[in-house]
Structure 1
Amino acid sequence: MTARAVTHLNFRGDAREALTFYRSAFGGDLTVVTYKDAGNVQDPAEADQVMFGQVSTADGLSVMAYDVPSDLPWNRGENAFFVSVRAESAEETTAYWEKLSEGATVLRPLGTAQWAPLYGMLRDRFGVTWVLDVVSEYDA
């Protein structure tokens, strides 16, 4: 049996928009199940919000998300987590960067770093911090 960790992002009403955006950045398949689809509507105003959502690519990248119901506490927090995407090439990393940076705040511009030939950090328009780099051997 093989297990893998998948980043699960929590939103308050804009999970579908975020997942659609991430699909535009990474490609892959988008799955969205609303509270109405699942027969789990607690608040009619939230029936079309995302109860389960996921973007999955053929090469293994996966991001899950849902809309936290209004009867549960939710706070975006600050620096609670980063989503790290480690690509095989500078071209792939740059392509993801260019797409994710739409409406984003650049925290560290894409460039060389001591541990990677290309590295950058940004906070996207949904408040999620992404760390992108090129996989390389670490030379301590």
Structure 2
Amino acid sequence: MTVTTTTHLNFRGDARAALEHYRGVFGGELTVVTYADAHAVQDPAEADQVMWGQVASPAGFHVMAYDVPARLPHDAGTNAFFVSVRGADADEVTRYWTALADGATVLQDLAPAGWAPLYGMLVDRFGVTWVLDVAVAYAG
């Protein structure tokens, strides 16, 4: 049996823009199903919002998202989760960082760290905290 975990992000009206941004950063295929597409509209103002969406790239990046309907509570929280992107190639990680940093708040610049050749943390323009690093074998 194989198990895959996928980060699922919850937004309040920004899911499509976030998914389009992440597709621009990581490449891959964008799939969006709106509440109207699924015949699940309860509030006409939310008909074109994302009921289910994802970006999946051939390189292995995969994220899902949806717009929480107004009738349900939604609190993005503080440090509720980080999305970690680890790669073996410093140039590739740097490309992702540069694209994610557009409009973001950088918490830790992408730079060498004691545990990784490159490490950085930012909060993107959608409020999602990303941690990017170049993976190395754990020395114990």
d(CA) in 2 for partners of 1:2 and 1:16?
29
| Cα drift, residue 2 of structure 1 | 1.4
Aligned-residue identity in percent: 66
d(CA) in 1 for partners of 2:22 and 2:45?
25
d(CA) in 1 for partners of 2:106 and 2:119?
12
2:5 alignment partner, SS class? coil
Alignment of 1:1-140 (within 5 A): 1-140=1-140
For structure 2, which runs of at least 5 residues remain unmatched after alignment? none
Q: CA RMSD in A?
A: 0.7
| Cα drift, residue 114 of structure 1 | 1.4
Give 2:93's aligned amino acid. Answer: T
For structure 1, which runs of at least 5 residues remain unmatched after alignment? none
State how many pairs are aligned: 140
Give 2:101's aligned amino acid. Answer: S
Give 1:56's aligned amino acid. Answer: A
TM-score normalised by L of structure 1: 0.98
1:125 alignment partner, SS class? coil
- Deviating runs (4+, > 4 A) in structure 1? none
